[in-house]
Amino acid sequence: MSPDQMQHWSAETDGVLRRAGWRPGRSVPTEAWEWILRERGTFVPHEAARRFLSEFGGLITYGWPADPVTTRSAVRFDPLQAEWEDETFARMSRDAGTPLYPVGTADEGSSHLGIAQDGALYIARDRVELLAKTPDQALDRLVSTQSASATSGVLHAPVGTHAFWRRLDVVETGDDAGRRWPADTDRVLRAAGWAPGRSIPTGTWENILLQTGEYEIHDAARRFLAEFGYVGVPFRAPLDSMPWAEFRLDPLLAMWDAEILDDLGEQAGADLYPLGMIDRRNQYVAMAEDGAVYAGMDSVRLLASTPDEALGKLTRPIRQVDR
């Protein structure tokens, strides 16, 4: 959407989007999202999806104080929430009668959002429903629905088992496992989407973080994210069923916390760039220019002096793994 094009949404929607980081003329590259979704499904982007994500991708529309209810009811314009969900979107597309491309989630992540080639937005809860025929109208409806959910406290049940746990049962370790890192690390990383030679364009993350937090990426972080960006182990309940600790290498998790990262960098005596979060999102993971990886929130600690050593620690078993 061009900067001089008038948006046709309510004042409430405008306020919610601006608090989430939207501004007229916002434009971010979409290559990282497209690359990862092709890697983890059969998703084929179309121009309507690119336009929408270029303007709204990466935004989380809390809109109200981030208490437990409103946080859960947030709309996340993160297409990667549909990773490995290509069968779900194939069913959504059949029900909608048109190909849909993922643009995010609503209802505590239990509802997928998809956009058609003509710009119409759909939501899939128990069934596929047309939100509106234009993005502006759909955003109005999403914001009003979120407001009602936050007021009533009505939330939908979370989605089922993450694909990581299904993939873990069938993935095979590589021939070089044990040389670069332990076999367990190799298995976990492959189940999480990594493969030798993986190289993602990082411009999407770099652009958004530069706009929202004035993060300046360095070469070590760029190399790391190109290989391991959006790799992670999702949480699974109950806690004692988790053989590995939860982590997510998604730098956008630090989008609004530049002050925290600056403080951690001052403590570490290094320029830190965010890589993601660990410990059920209670600690940030960040990288210095020399490749050292740090973790922390109020205080910082050196996780590992090299990226591979850090990955070995993140994927170290914390309890017996059933094979």
| Residue range 126-161, pLDDT digits in tens | 799 999 999 999 999 988 876 555 433 333 334 457
The alpha-helical segments, DSSP class H, found in the chain are 11-20, 31-39, 47-56, 68-72, 86-96, 135-152, 163-168, 183-191, 203-213, 219-228, 258-268, 307-314
Amino acid at 162: H
- Six-digit token pair at 250? 């998604």
Evaluate whether 190 touches 197 at the Cβ level (below 8 Å): no
In the predicted structure, residue 60 carries a pLDDT above the cut 70: yes
What does the pLDDT look like over 175-219, one tens digit per residue? 777 788 888 899 999 999 999 999 999 999 999 999 988 899 999
DSSP-derived letter for residue 29 is: -
CATH class of the 163-314 domain in this structure: alpha beta
Residue 6 has a pLDDT of 54
Q: Which residue, chain included where needed, has tokens 């220019």?
A: 289
Q: What is the pLDDT of residue 96?
A: 96
Q: What is the mean pLDDT of the chain?
A: 87
Roughly what angle, to the nearest 10 degrees, separates helices 219-228 and 307-314? 40
Count the Cβ atoms, other than its own, within 10 Å of residue 24: 14
- In this structure, how many other beta carbons lie within 10 angstroms of the beta carbon of residue 34? 21
Q: Say which amino acid occupies 208.
A: I
**115 close to 49: Cβ distance less than 8 angstroms:** yes
Contacts for 154 with CB less than 8 Å, ≥ 6 apart: none
153 against 293, higher pLDDT: 293
Provide the pLDDT for residue 320: 64
- State the pTM of this model: 0.88
- Of the pLDDT bands very low, low, confident and very high (cuts 50, 70, 90), residue 66 is very low
Within this chain, domains 11-152 and 163-314 share the same CATH topology? yes
Mean pLDDT of 101-125: 92
Is residue 307 pLDDT above 60, yes or no?
yes
- pLDDT of res. 3: 44
- Residue 264 has which token pair? 């951690």
Q: Provide the CATH topology of domain 11-152.
A: SMI1/KNR4-like (3.40.1580)
Decide: 250 and 284 in contact? Cβ < 8 Å. Answer: no
| DSSP annotation of 76 | B
Domain residue ranges of the chain, discontinuous segments joined by +: 11-152, 163-314
> What are the phi and psi torsion angles at 262 (to 5°)?
-60, -45
- Residue 42 and residue 99 in contact, taking contact as beta carbons nearer than 8 Å: no
Question: What is the distance between the alpha carbons of residues 301 and 272, in angstroms, rounded to a whole number?
Answer: 12
